Each structure stands twice: as C-alpha cells, then as structure tokens.
Amino acid sequence: MTEKLKLAASMLREAYSGDTVAPLREFLHPTDADSAYAIQELNTRFWEAQGRRIVGRKAGLTAKAVQAQLGVDQPDFGVLFDDMRIDDGGALDPARTLQPKAEAEIAFVLGADLPSVDTTPDQVAAAVASVHAAIEIVDSRIADWKITFADTVADNGSSAFFVLAANGLPLEGLDLEAAPMEMTINGDTVSTGLGAAALGNPLNAAAWLAQTLASRGEPLKAGDILLAGALGPMVALTPGARVRAVIAGIGECSFTYGRA
C-alpha cells in the first residue's frame, strides 16, 4: 500500500468532521478502481478497529445514465455500518452531514450466505429473507460533489446513512422490475422511478454485489442488508425536510432531516 493512498484515506476520514476535500486527482486516475477500492478498504479496516460493525453493502452507479456521466461501465459498492442506520420514521441531525442527498431504493435482507463468484439473480432470490423499501442518504466528502468514479469508490460509495422500512415482505410474488417508486419531501413529489432502474432489476444489482464481494474474499452473509441502487434521481436535502419513499407493492419508509 503506497503512502499516497494512505494519505488519501486519511484525508477522506478527516473530512467527516466538517471540511470537504478537493477531488482526489493527485492520488487517483478518474477510473482507477483498484486504487480507489484500496483506499475504501483502508478506511473500512480503520473504522472496524474503532468498533464500527459492518451490517451490509450498498450498490451504486446502477443506472446506465449515471455510469455514462462518470465514464464507466460498471456499478460500484460501499460498506454499510451499524451506525449509519436511521430508524424508519426517525430523524437525522443535519450536523452529521456535509452535502447530503436522498434517493429511494429497494433493499434486501439476506437469509442465507452468497459465497459464489458466479452468483445468479435466481440464487440471490432464493437467499432473500425480506424485501424492503429504503432511502439512502448519500453524501460526499469531495467538495461540491465534483466526483469521478474513483472519487466515489474511495469515499465509500459516497454513502452516509440509510433508512430501511420497518416491515419487509417475502420476495415471492413481488414484481421488482415494474414496482413504481415515488419519493416526496414535505408532501411534494421530488423523484419517481421504477425498480428496473437498478440494473434492470434489483436482483441483478444484488447478484453483481455478491459476485464482486465473493471475488474479493468478502462474501455476503445471512443477515446482511443490501441496498440495490437508486430507482430515481437523488434530491438534495435541506433542514426540516420530511422525506418519504413509497414503492408500490413493496412498502414505504420515511425520516426527517432535522434534530429529533
């Protein structure tokens, strides 16, 4: 591990205290996935040593339009820690964020391990214990969201917090691809989409996650939470926002961006 990558990891960690950093151009080529994931891994291990517990993973860049925007042809992933979870109906203190945005997603909770590098969507489906509506609160430690693929990967997939619907459903009988999503802020519709926005089907995104993590020696395990990617445009948050995501046939969840 080069000293340059260790410095970039340290800079990103320190940015959580309130000051964003410039895009990581002097550390990373915009499409250097290996080095970017190495930085993410450094910080993951650091945070685990500090007592944070991994509870799952998030898939990002699952929409083709967003991939094209960043000049890549693949999704990315980030780590979900236990202290990133906001209770359904709970509150997120704006002081804990820098430049947050919200996006509605479909999430899975696994009931079985997914150890194979050849995991298929059908195998993911067989391993799913429950399906939930979810909201991911993404944030960037990179100033003004001027990110490349490498920036967002190094920055833990631009992740911050997430909300999981308190009530999940069994997968059987659900039409994930066609499920319409509506996200509102203070009652006004701000984002809409379909389940198919996540690599054609959220199960495809979950299979990609399972394959990728198995190939890295970090396979998904029973109990893991998987955020399968945004179903519509992400929306910037301002204090006082009451955010609600409804995914027809699957469920809904909400949180308030403000002090409890």
Q: Is the dihedral of CA 86, 88, 91, 94 positive or negative?
A: positive
pLDDT per residue as tens digits for the range 197-233:
999 999 999 999 999 999 999 999 999 999 999 999 8
pLDDT of residue 113: 98
pLDDT per residue as tens digits for the range 87-129:
999 999 999 999 999 999 999 999 999 999 999 999 999 999 9
Do residues 210 and 219 make contact, with C-beta atoms less than 8 angstroms apart? yes
Beta strands in 15-117 (DSSP E): 54-60, 76-81, 85-86, 90-92, 101-110
For domain 3-257, the CATH class is alpha beta
pLDDT of residue 4: 93
Over the chain, what is the mean pLDDT?
A: 95
DSSP code for 154: H
Do residues 134 and 162 make contact, with C-beta atoms less than 8 angstroms apart? yes
Q: How far is CA 229 from CA 59, 186, 243, in A?
A: 5, 23, 17
Query: What pTM was estimated for this model as a whole?
Result: 0.95
User: Which residues, including other chains, have CB under 8 Å from residue 230's CB and lie 6 or more apart?
Assistant: 60, 62, 63, 103, 104, 105, 136, 193, 197, 198
Do residues 251 and 179 make contact, with C-beta atoms less than 8 angstroms apart? no
Write down the domain spans for the chain: 3-257
C-alpha 30, offset from chain centre: 20
Q: CA torsion, points 46, 227, 220, 122, in degrees to nearest 10?
A: -160
pLDDT per residue as tens digits for the range 169-201:
999 999 999 999 999 999 999 999 999 999 999
User: Which residues, including other chains, have CB under 8 Å from residue 1's CB and lie 6 or more apart?
Assistant: 38, 42
pLDDT of residue 118: 98
pLDDT of residue 55: 98
Residue 67 has pLDDT above 80, yes or no: no
Give the gyration radius of the chain's Cα atoms.
17
pLDDT of residue 64: 77
Q: Would you place residue 65 in the very low, low, confident or very high pLDDT band (cuts 50, 70, 90)?
A: low
pLDDT per residue as tens digits for the range 1-16:
589 999 999 999 999 9
User: Which residues, including other chains, have CB under 8 Å from residue 52's CB and lie 6 or more apart?
Assistant: 81, 82, 83
